[in-house]
Amino acid sequence: DTEVTQTPKHLVMGMTNKKSLKCEQHMGHRAMYWYKQKAKKPPELMFVYSYEKLSINESVPSRFSPECPNSSLLNLHLHALQPEDSALYLCASSQLGMNTEAFFGQGTRLTVV
């Protein structure tokens, strides 16, 4: 199983809402990532978890709050987002170590209204 599963596939939320994005993998990967991708742009790294601990935060606003409850799950909690936060949010996972392949999920298309 080389799949990274993200739910939901689509999400529309208001600026005062609280929502969560979920990501799951069963490949035994101990590194998990959140990326943000705007239309016609490359993915941009947001957060990296290694062994369920946050290891990289790319200066992401606090309205995005990641959580890694166990080695298979990764969440992204959203609160008080702005319309400019509308994007495709991608989860990825990889083995720890040098030059390992990152497997991406198909993403959650988020629209903030």
Shortest reach from residue 65's CB to other proteins, in Å: 20
| Pairs from 45-50 (Cβ < 8 Å, separation ≥ 24) | 47/76, 49/74, 50/96
User: Do 33 and 91 form a contact (C-beta atoms < 8 A)?
Assistant: yes
User: C-beta of 15: minimal distance to other proteins in Å?
Assistant: 25
Nearer to other proteins, 27 or 102 (CB): 102
Residue 80 token pair: 């008080």
4: β partners: 25
Q: Are 102 and 96 in contact (CB under 8 A)?
A: no
Distance in Å, CB of 90 to other proteins, minimum = 5
Under the rule (CB under 8 A), what is the footprint of other proteins?
A: 4, 31, 33, 40-45, 48, 50, 55-56, 90, 92, 94, 96-107, 109
Q: Looking at beta carbons only, is 66 or 105 nearer to other proteins?
A: 105
